[in-house]
Amino acid sequence: MSPKAISESEIVATAIFSCVSFLLMGLVLILFFYFSRKKITQKELEKRDLEIQYQKEQLHAIIVTQEEERKRIAQDLHDDISSKLNIVSLNTHLLSASNLTEAETKEITGNIISLTTKALENSRKIAHNLLPPVFEKFGLSAGVQELCAEFETSKLVKVHYKNTVDFDDNDIDRQLHVFRILQEFMNNSIRHGKASEIKISFSEENGIVTCNYEDNGIGFDSKSDENQKGLGMKNIDSRISFLKGTIQISSEINKGFAANFTF
């Protein structure tokens, strides 16, 4: 075989080897991108599943909270309003008796007036708990101020409130969630934390409002799963999720409670 023929065969072999090598490299790259994309897609699906699961848990927490609230309102209506109106009805029927003395008539009338007055007061309290009139008329800051004043009337706690934010009056639905979060915190501070002092403040930076809350109560282990998964915390988390905000909570036994959340 001539040197020229050998040279041509080597060139052809080299060309074929190069083509095969490029094909193999291309196949390897295709397989790499395929499996990489598959892995990325799988992670995205897993992340989406977690988000959906989280949303389901939040929705469940909201539903449970609403049902608890309905039960509480129904119980209040039954215990405070219905029972008093039943007695008013009985006393009204007594007035129709023909043999009543003037003193008996006066006593029954006084009972009716007293019971209806108490029923009115209790109905106002129930309505106030659903949506405080001050909050509805003047907004979040005024509502929080009134809430602080109400807690201070118990003489059990001193509340310090500071606000530098001009809240939008048209955003009342979202602000109601903030109000409910603070209600939950304050109730917990008194009932469970035995706090004697509470501090609340609002501040704003770059359009993000931050609420800082702290008390000097007995505190709790904030790292405990049981404390993190309680109905109250699930309720707060669901409200924060609705507000598209973040929340950080810190507490230790005998070192009080602190939380800050954004919205």
Q: Tell me the per-residue pLDDT of 89-138, one tens digit each, with 9 for 90 and over.
A: 878 878 777 787 888 888 888 888 888 888 777 776 666 666 777 887 88
Ranked by mean pLDDT, which of 63-67, 74-78, 235-239, 259-263 comes out on top?
Answer: 259-263
| Cα-to-chain-centroid distance, residue 35 | 41
Q: Are 129 and 187 in contact (CB under 8 A)?
A: no
Domains and CATH numbers, the chain: 132-263 (3.30.565.10)
**What integer is the mean pLDDT of 165-185?**
85
Beta-strand pair 197-205/158-163: parallel
State pLDDT tens for residues 18-63: 777 778 887 888 878 777 777 787 788 778 877 777 766 666 666 6
Whether the pLDDT of residue 199 is over 90: the answer is yes
**What integer is the mean pLDDT of 190-205?**
90
- Confidence bin at 78 (pLDDT 50/70/90): low
Whether the pLDDT of residue 198 is over 70: the answer is yes
- Confidence bin at 262 (pLDDT 50/70/90): very high
- Confidence bin at 261 (pLDDT 50/70/90): very high
**What integer is the mean pLDDT of 200-216?**
92
**How much is the mean pLDDT over the chain?**
80
Q: Which two structure tokens, joined as six digits, stand for 114?
A: 């007293």
**What integer is the mean pLDDT of 239-263?**
88
10 Å CB burial of residue 144 (0-12, 13-18, 19+) is buried
| Percentage of residues of the chain with pLDDT beyond 90 | 13
Q: Which two structure tokens, joined as six digits, stand for 156?
A: 């059990």
Looking at residue 106, what is its pLDDT? 86
Query: In 10 A of CB 24, how many CB atoms?
Result: 10
Whole-number Å distance between alpha carbons of 170 and 241: 20
Looking at residue 135, what is its pLDDT? 82
Q: Which two structure tokens, joined as six digits, stand for 186?
A: 């304050």
Q: Which helix (H) or strand (E) holds 129?
A: helix 102-130
| Percentage of residues of the chain with pLDDT beyond 70 | 79
